Structures are given as C-alpha cells and as structure tokens.
Amino acid sequence: MLSYVAKRLIWTLPTLLLVGFVVFVIVRLIPGDPAQIILGDSASPEQVAALRAQYGLDRPIFVQFAFWLGRAAQGDLGRSITDGQAVLPLLIERFQVSAMIVFIAVGFAVLIAVPAGLIAAWKQNSGFDIAIVAGATLLLSIPSFWLGLILLLVFGLKLGWVPVIGYTPFSQSPTQALLYIALPVVTLTLIETGVLTRMARASAIEVLRLEYVMHARAKGLSERRVLLRHVLPNAFAPTWTVIGLVLGNLLGGIAVLETVFTLPGLGRLLVDAIFARDYPVVQGCLLFTALIYVLVNLVVDLCYPLFDPRVSAS
C-alpha cells in the first residue's frame, strides 16, 4: 500500500515538471507584456524595458525557466509581478476559499444525487424517474454564472436574505462565513447534483440488472435491503470516480462563480493573473491545480477498495 502511494507520488513529479514547462512556454507565447500592462498606454519604451529587466523578463526563456525551476524545487514559486506578493502563500490562502466552497457543495451534491439516482434507477421509466432525469438534465445544462446571478438577484437583491458581496473566513466568524458562501455553495450544489444524479442512476441501473441482485430478491430480501445492501455500494464505486474528477476540476475551475460572488478564490486569482500576464502567478496557479488534481485522484483511487472490494489498492 505504502509503496503504491510512493510510486504514485513519484510519478507526480514528471507530470508537474511537464505541466510547469508547458505552462511556462505557453503563457510567454501569448501576446501581451506584463510590464506594458502595469505601466499603461503612456509609458515610454525605456520604462517598459526597465520594468522587464527588473523582473528578468528580458532574459532568454530557457534561462528564465531554469531560474524558476530552481526556486520552485525549493518551494519558492516567485513573486507576483502585479503586486509583489509571494506566490505560494497567496495560492494557499486563495485555495482555502475555493476548497471550502467546493468540498461543501460536492458533499451536499453527493448526499442528494446518490439517493436520487438510486431511486430513479429503482423506479426506472416511471414518472418519478422521468422527473428526476429531467431535473438532473436541466440542472447540468444551466450555465453556473447564470444560475449564480439569478440566485444573487432573488435571494440577495429581492429578498435580502444574504449579502450580495463579501467574504469572511470561517475562523473569523462562522455565521458570517456561512452567509457569504451560502449562494455559491447552493449554485455549485445544484449544478453538480445534476451531473452526479445522472451518473449514480446509470450505475445503479447497471447493477440492478446483475444476477446477484435477482438472487437477493429471490431469497426474499426486502427491496430496501436489496437497494441499500447490494445495489448502493456497487453503484457508488463508479460515481466515486466521477466525484474525484469533479472535485479536481472544480478546485481549479470555479473562477466564474468566484467572480460573480466576489470571492477571493484560486480560480479568480488565475483569471486575473492571465489578464494581467502575471506569469509567476499563472504558473503557480496551474502547477498548484495540477498537483491538487493528482492528489485528489490519488485519494479517490486509494479509497476505491472501500466501495468495491474487488479492486485492491496494491
């Protein structure tokens, strides 16, 4: 087990190196100069050149990469060109915001989607099933920014139940924090519930067709026991894999929601950094996201045997 984990982690290194290199090259290939953006349309060429030199942007790209890699290996991802902040602490601070919303939302989505999918599969082709499938399809078709804005207008503006902008960490005031993250969490929960319900339903239908389910029913077990004891654990395993992918995607990709709800998360940081051509922050964000993606999927794989004993971690 330990050697498996170690092997997976070791394989992570070349992945991150490749991500780091590709990102490094790509962001520099995009037209647009951070020094020019900082100085604006009235800056003289000399001022732009001086600022480029200050950040080492006038050096050959491979020299820049070598410097960056050397520092990254020591845990130093550089400093933001825009405001001079150290990138790594900035990423960790912003990640906490994104992670809190994503974990809570995906947790709620699983709690709703798995039973809904199971019931839909159990009552396949009934009115109940059709309603759940239609609801799930509708939810996963709605763009998250649109749903977010609608919730913001209804619950923030019209009803005034929650504040429209702002953010407070849990450590500072749990009640305030809950109020601020309520709408983004609800938005994300609704969207992800759609995806996961479809997945859980499909898995459950597959399992319901298997012989051991028929055998269990033939033995005279109640439908409730058949569903909870035999169908749920086996149907949950493929859904679990999807949860891993969803988590990985969301942790780096909820920029739109973070923008709509004015949350200082990782996604918004990345988008702002791309617009500002803030190379160290863009590189740091994408590297960090890749790392999180790899780690989340490692944890998912390690937990898989808990839901499907046929799969061994070794």
Residues that bind another protein (CB under 8 A): 30-33, 36-48, 50-51, 54, 82-85, 90, 94, 149, 152-153, 156-157, 160, 163-167, 173, 175-176, 179, 259-262, 264, 268-269, 272, 275-277
The SS3 assignment for 86 reads: strand
Minimum CB–partner distance for residue 125 and another protein (Å): 42
Minimum CB–partner distance for residue 214 and another protein (Å): 45
Residue 192 in contact with residue 105, Cβ under 8 Å?
yes
Which residue type, as a one-letter code, is found at position 38?
A: I
Looking at the Cβ atoms of 30 and 210, the one nearer to another protein is 30
Looking at the Cβ atoms of 34 and 248, the one nearer to another protein is 34
Looking at the Cβ atoms of 164 and 245, the one nearer to another protein is 164
Neighbours of 3 (CB within 10 A): 8
Looking at the Cβ atoms of 31 and 127, the one nearer to another protein is 31
Q: How many helices (H) and strands (E) does the chain have?
A: 14, 0
Minimum CB–partner distance for residue 37 and another protein (Å): 5
Minimum CB–partner distance for residue 36 and another protein (Å): 6
Closest by CA to 227, choosing from 211, 212, 213, is 213
Minimum CB–partner distance for residue 287 and another protein (Å): 20
Minimum CB–partner distance for residue 100 and another protein (Å): 15
The SS3 assignment for 269 reads: helix
Residue 307 in contact with residue 203, Cβ under 8 Å?
no
Rounded distance, CA 254 to CA 262, Å? 12
Return the DSSP state at 85.
-
Rounded distance, CA 175 to CA 152, Å? 19
Residues in the chain: 314
Looking at the Cβ atoms of 63 and 153, the one nearer to another protein is 153
Minimum CB–partner distance for residue 147 and another protein (Å): 13
Non-local CB neighbours of 281 within 8 Å, separated by 6+ positions: 80, 81, 82, 87, 90, 269, 270, 273
Non-local CB neighbours of 87 within 8 Å, separated by 6+ positions: 77, 78, 79, 80, 280, 281, 284
Looking at the Cβ atoms of 11 and 275, the one nearer to another protein is 275
Neighbours of 67 (CB within 10 A): 13
Looking at the Cβ atoms of 11 and 170, the one nearer to another protein is 170
